[in-house]
Amino acid sequence: MSLDAIRRPAVTILMVLADSGISALDAASRALAAPECVELIVLDNASCDGIPQRLIARSEGDSRLRVLSMGSNLGFGAAMNRGAAIARGDWLLLLNPDCQLEPDTLTRMLEVASDGAMVGAVVCDADGRHDPAAWRRAPTVIRVLCTMTGLARLESCWRIFAGVNRRDALPDSAVPAEVISGAIMLVPRAAFAAMGGFDAGYFLHFEDVDLCARIRNAGVPLTMAGGIRVLHAKGGSSSGRGLMVARHKHRGLLRYLRLHDPRARCWPWRVLLPTLVWLHFLLQIPALMLRDARARRRSAMSGRGAT
């Protein structure tokens, strides 16, 4: 074994599947190509698309790849916790199955994390547009209301209307952050364990924001590696299920605010906030149902074309 290999940080990459689509195969291959990857643990939340089986077939040639069936859909955080509990690496890379690592992505993130920080990267689409979740503030009652009502558009004139998504330019270097995207998170395994992992009370969405809040409060630096871009082919697991995803997103938002913003637990917000959040969800239902129907139709046509 070379001296470089001995000194190289050991990273366990964790990936959750839930009918995530064929992009997961490429994501897994790219993850295993990272020099620091000592193992890739794939947690299968009862997928029906055959991708876990294809990964198992591939694993015969690489003992670092392990595909574990959860038996049912436990949700993102609970499945990640299962993988973290058996991880061997000193670091955990929590990776979405539609995130495509470049050969040096993990190396560069580890350089940013040299002070023991939890590190995120800028997730973006094929056209280079960044996901709003990549550059945002920690949610508060006021920030959420400004975002939902559209008042956040006035932030450039009046800072009081600042919303959750930041409107200033993305950094091109590593900067302190309040929140990093759960699509790709590098965290010391010891820090993740000390937090008890993800809060399994979130099924989908906001478990990453919650972890960031607890990590930050424990004194672990939280850093956005602004110069690192990661292609995120968003929506593999949620295509055709936008209504379900939105329901869990709103539910997760309420849980997060109740746990982390004292204002949400006080009168009148403890009554008014759930009303406003679920009204926001109800107003989205028609558009979400239409989008889901279109996605299912495209999927059915694609399936017929493949036969």
For the segment 99-114, the average pLDDT, to the nearest whole number, is: 96
What H or E segment, with its residue span, contains residue 123?
A: strand 118-124
Domain residue ranges of the chain, discontinuous segments joined by +? 3-135+170-232, 137-167, 242-306
pLDDT at position 247 is 96
Taking Cα atoms as reference points, which of 208, 228, 34 lies closest to residue 124? 228
pLDDT in tens, 133-168: 889 999 999 999 999 999 999 999 999 999 999 999
Tell me what the pLDDT averaged over the chain comes to.
92
For 89, 103, 285, the CA distances from 277, given in Å and listed in that order, are 39, 41, 13
Is residue 115 packed enough to be buried (19+ CB in 10 Å), middle (13-18) or exposed (0-12)? exposed
pLDDT at position 239 is 60
Chain centroid to Cα 122, Å, comes to 12
> Which of 3.30.70.360, 3.30.465.10, 3.90.550.10, 3.10.580.10 would CATH assign to domain 3-135+170-232?
3.90.550.10
- Block residue for tokens 């800028």: 122
- pLDDT category of residue 298 using cuts at 50, 70 and 90: confident
Using alpha carbons only, give the angle 105, 47, 299 rounded to the nearest 5 degrees.
Answer: 90
Taking Cα atoms as reference points, which of 185, 97, 240 lies closest to residue 177? 185
Find out whether 59 and 65 touch, Cβ atoms under 8 Å. yes
